[in-house]
């Protein structure tokens, strides 16, 4: 009885694990399908994209040259089985084909409508879309502008957030607990609530429309999420070394630079990366303030306007992939530090 129960338990355990893994793979496949479709589309030619019968993967229609002309190959049911023949003469009731393997046989009559046949495709990809975007030269300027905006705004957000988080973590700020609760509450405030007043302030009062200032200056006043993550990490750092440094005459700024930040490097890099991803994907602010200055638009907003000037769908997908590849490369190159910062911060909240 015990042996039977143990076998049943292992069976159900193995079946449950298999079903769970299968469901997880289905979720991953559903999540990755749009990206895979984007990759496949960017590797297609414009002719294949316009071909309604073309397969999803990059492919080229196979042709055969007969008497100086190229004819498309089709899968034709014959007595010998399914054959790949080149369609030479098209008729409604019958068609005439040539067998590429035995062209000496001449034209072969096949009774039936040729439109019901499937064309022969062979897997073949092209990088023409990427080359066209790269040769155009315009793609590099939005990337450079985005990097400048991310560097300026990210530096301001990081420095201000570190200072505020250090103050919350180490010093008895008057009503600091309530101020911190108010700061956390601002994270839950929908951005749409402040959209109209901030736009009125930047566009009508400060006259910043058409400039980078609305995208950069607000970040110099800190970021609530970054302050929260940094504060949690700073509070976990032991004060023993700081007390020894204070006895040696170190001031608050020296303590922050020489003691706190070296121990909080993974978290600082993590929040810096999160801020970089925000700037790289920023579209709403750019659409509001830079729609009249296209020569100042960052790469995400440039991608949206690019589709209106170059309607080729494979070109749009290729440009989108070139934009997406930068954050992916950043994550891959800094994966160890990024994950370490996330784990450290999560374990200390």
The per-residue pLDDT for range 264-280, each reduced to its tens digit, is 888 898 889 889 988 98
Q: Give the residue, 183 or 13, on which the prediction is more confident.
A: 183
| Residues 317 and 164 sit within 8 Å (Cβ to Cβ) | no
How many angstroms separate the CA atoms of 101 and 250, rounded?
A: 87
Pair (139, 112) in one structural domain: no
- pLDDT of 184 above 80: yes
Running DSSP on this structure, what letter comes out for residue 321?
A: H
Pair (69, 145) in one structural domain: no
Pair (247, 148) in one structural domain: yes
Of the pLDDT bands very low, low, confident and very high (cuts 50, 70, 90), residue 97 is: very high
Of the pLDDT bands very low, low, confident and very high (cuts 50, 70, 90), residue 155 is: very high
Query: What tokens appear for 317 in the block?
Result: 């997908």
pLDDT digits over 206-255, tens only? 999 999 999 999 999 988 999 998 998 898 888 888 888 888 788 888 88
Query: Measured on CA atoms in the order 153, 158, 160, 161, is the torsion positive or negative?
Result: positive
Q: Is residue 187 part of a domain?
A: yes
Of the pLDDT bands very low, low, confident and very high (cuts 50, 70, 90), residue 52 is: confident
CB neighbour burial string for 308-332, b if at least 16 within 10 angstroms, e if fewer = eeeeebbbbbbbbbbbbebeeeeee
User: Domain boundary at 89, 119, 149, which?
Assistant: 119
- pLDDT of 290 above 50: yes
Pair (104, 174) in one structural domain: no
Mean pLDDT of 69-81: 89
CB neighbour burial string for 209-225, b if at least 16 within 10 angstroms, e if fewer = bebbebbbbbbeebbbb
* Helix/strand/coil for 236: helix
Of the pLDDT bands very low, low, confident and very high (cuts 50, 70, 90), residue 349 is: very low
CATH of the domain at 225: 1.10.3720.10
Strands 69-78 and 59-61: unpaired
Q: Helices H, strands E: what count in the chain?
A: 16, 8
Pair (112, 236) in one structural domain: no
Model pLDDT, residue 34: 79
Model pLDDT, residue 314: 61
Strands 94-98 and 81-90: antiparallel
| Residues 322 and 46 sit within 8 Å (Cβ to Cβ) | no
Of the pLDDT bands very low, low, confident and very high (cuts 50, 70, 90), residue 50 is: confident
- pLDDT of 309 above 70: no
How many angstroms separate the CA atoms of 224 and 180, rounded?
A: 9
Pair (109, 241) in one structural domain: no
Q: Is residue 27 part of a domain?
A: no
- pLDDT of 346 above 50: no
- pLDDT of 189 above 50: yes
Q: Is residue 9 part of a domain?
A: no
How many angstroms separate the CA atoms of 265 and 295, rounded?
A: 36
Model pLDDT, residue 253: 87
pLDDT above 70 covers what percent of the chain? 86
- pLDDT of 348 above 60: no
Model pLDDT, residue 202: 92
Pair (251, 177) in one structural domain: yes
From residue 117, alpha-carbon distances to 53, 74, 182 in Å are 11, 6, 68
Pair (207, 306) in one structural domain: yes
Q: Is residue 320 part of a domain?
A: yes
Q: Is residue 19 part of a domain?
A: no
Pair (146, 230) in one structural domain: yes
Pair (102, 191) in one structural domain: no
Pair (70, 176) in one structural domain: no
| Residues 108 and 123 sit within 8 Å (Cβ to Cβ) | no
Domain count, the chain: 2
Q: Is residue 126 part of a domain?
A: no
User: Domain boundary at 119, 140, 167, which?
Assistant: 119
CB neighbour burial string for 68-77, b if at least 16 within 10 angstroms, e if fewer = eeebebbebe
Pair (73, 190) in one structural domain: no
Q: Which domain holds residue 322?
A: 131-347
User: Domain boundary at 119, 141, 156, which?
Assistant: 119
Q: What is the mean pLDDT of the chain?
A: 83
Mean pLDDT of 315-333: 72
- pLDDT of 317 above 70: no
Model pLDDT, residue 2: 52
Running DSSP on this structure, what letter comes out for residue 295?
A: G
Tell me the three-class secondary structure of 110-123, residue by residue: EECCHHHCEECEEE
Q: Is residue 20 part of a domain?
A: no
Give DSSP secondary structure letters for 67-118: TTEEEEEEEEEETTEEEEEEEEEE-SSEEEEE-TT-GGG-EEEEES-GGGSE
Q: Is residue 297 part of a domain?
A: yes
The candidate with the shortest Cα–Cα distance to 318, out of 49, 59, 47, 133, is 133
From residue 187, alpha-carbon distances to 77, 116, 223, 231, 233 in Å are 65, 59, 9, 15, 18
Q: By mean pLDDT, which of 19-28, 51-60, 303-312 is the weakest?
A: 303-312
- pLDDT of 341 above 60: no
């Amino acid at each position: 009885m015990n042996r039977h129960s143990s076998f049943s338990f292992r069976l159900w355990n193995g079946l449950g694990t298999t079903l769970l893994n299968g469901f997880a793979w289905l979720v991953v496949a559903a999540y990755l399908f749009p990206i895979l479709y984007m990759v496949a589309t960017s590797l297609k030619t414009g002719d294949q994209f316009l071909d309604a019968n073309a397969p999803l993967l990059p492919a080229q229609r196979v042709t055969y040259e007969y008497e100086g002309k190229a004819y498309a190959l089709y899968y034709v049911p014959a007595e010998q089985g399914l054959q790949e023949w080149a369609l030479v003469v098209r008729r409604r009731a019958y068609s005439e084909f040539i067998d590429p393997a035995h062209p000496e046989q001449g034209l072969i009559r096949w009774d039936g409508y040729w439109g019901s046949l499937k064309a022969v495709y062979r897997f073949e990809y092209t990088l023409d879309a990427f080359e066209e975007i790269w040769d155009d030269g315009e793609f590099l300027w939005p990337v450079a502008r985005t990097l400048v905006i991310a560097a300026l705004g990210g530096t301001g957000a990081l420095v201000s957030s570190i200072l505020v988080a250090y103050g919350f973590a180490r010093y008895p700020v008057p009503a600091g607990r309530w101020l911190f609760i108010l700061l956390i509450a601002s994270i839950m405030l929908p951005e749409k609530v402040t959209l109209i007043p901030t736009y009125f302030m930047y566009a009508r009062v400060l006259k910043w429309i058409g400039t980078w200032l609305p995208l950069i200056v607000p970040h110099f006043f800190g970021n609530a999420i970054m302050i929260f993550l940094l504060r949690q990490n700073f509070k976990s750092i032991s004060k023993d070394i700081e007390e020894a440094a204070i006895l040696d005459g170190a001031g608050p700024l020296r303590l922050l630079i020489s003691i706190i930040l070296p121990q909080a490097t993974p978290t600082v890099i993590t929040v810096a990366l999160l801020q970089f991803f925000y700037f790289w994907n920023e579209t709403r602010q750019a659409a509001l303030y830079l729609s009249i200055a296209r020569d100042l638009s960052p790469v995400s907003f440039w991608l949206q306007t690019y589709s209106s000037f170059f309607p080729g769908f494979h070109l749009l997908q290729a440009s989108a992939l070139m934009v997406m590849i930068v954050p992916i490369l950043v994550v891959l190159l800094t994966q160890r530090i990024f994950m370490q910062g996330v784990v450290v911060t999560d374990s200390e909240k």
